[in-house]
A and B are shown apart, each in its own frame.
Chain A
Amino acid sequence: MSYSEAVTVSKSSVPILAVVILAVIFGFGLFLVGYDQGHLFSIIQGAEAFDDLFIHELTHDMRHAAGFPCH
């Protein structure tokens, strides 16, 4: 005798993977715009990046406008 059984599983909880990815993006973006003083580029460029302040200058006006301490 054959029979079929239908089971419905509802999945609506917040996926942990999504939370982790979004949390990393939050932290990285906040650091980049609000706090980087050459740290990111120093990984490739070395100590020179702390003098060039490439990211700092790029985000300078937004830092002030969004309320981050700048200089």
Chain B
Amino acid sequence: MKTLRFIGLVLLAGCFAGIIHGTTNLAIVEPYLDEAIGIENQNLFSSGEEKDTPEFWVEYSSYRDWQKGGQVLAGAILGTSVGALFGIIFAFSRRSLPGNHNVKKALVLAGTMWLTIYFIPFLKYPANPPTVGDTETVVLRSILYLSFIAISGFGALGFYKLSKRLDKGKKIVAILGYAIFISIIFVAMPQNPDEVTAPMDLVNGFRAMSVIAVSIYWISLGIILGAFWQKLQPDKPLQTHTS
């Protein structure tokens, strides 16, 4: 395999998909973030922690511009890093993925990874807007979220390995095995300790837009990486001639 070509196309595909993700967030998630931060500000005023003064709003605008500006950059960084993981798994599993075109193969893998390391963990620990979340519990919540992703991801990998040892007609056993395994983990893992005090229409709207934006990322990643792979063929055997 051509190492540099492989690394380059994987990183570029992840970066492009991440930029799409960040831009989508700006369009559909950002209004919910603004609304939630507006509630946070009102809470600060009513508790006396901050005063509703022009100076406050100047400082607020300055850091909100910084946060909004970071959406696309953070999207590119996160997209590149998740794309790197996707590229590794795609390289190892490409031959056994269904489909006769690399875009189709990449989309199958993207769908599998979306389900196992994003959507199922999301169902247990859904995304929350600002105003939801106690600073005191952020480390615990981070550990829980990351642990669930890791358990689900490695679980899926383990059952995939198992499926390769099974006869064609019995591969469903591995899928059922993963479903039972992750259901047990889902029930056994502790709940998010924080109470949701924000209006539920805001929280649910935010979560729906978050899922749409992340799903767009995974679809984009599958299409772009698959298309790059199809075009550049980094795993085309190198022909070494000696005479």
Contacts and interface: CB of A to CB of B under 8 A. Distances in A.
Interface stretch (B22-30, B44-52, B99-107, B183-191): B22-30
A6 B243 contact: yes
A64 B125 contact: no
B214 interface: yes
Given A25-B81, A30-B82, A70 B130 contact: yes
A29 interface: yes
Interface residues of B, number: 62
Identify which of B21, B71, B74, B118 gathers the most chain A CB atoms within 10 Å of its CB. Answer: B74
Given A22-B88, A61-B25, A67-B126, A10 B77 contact: no
Contacts of B243: 4-6
Contacts of B73: 58
Contact of A26 (B6, B68, B81, B213): B81
Nearest to B135: A71
A7 interface: yes
Contacts of A17: 3
Given A9-B242, A62-B78, A66-B127, 13 more contacts: A6-B241, A7-B241, A9-B238, A14-B235, A26-B82, A26-B85, A32-B77, A57-B67, A60-B70, A61-B71, A65-B29, A65-B33, A67-B214
Interface of B: 1, 3, 6-7, 10-11, 21-22, 25, 29-30, 33, 63, 66-71, 73-75, 77-78, 80-82, 84-85, 87-88, 91-92, 118, 121-122, 125-130, 133, 135, 138, 141-142, 145, 206, 209-210, 213-214, 235-243
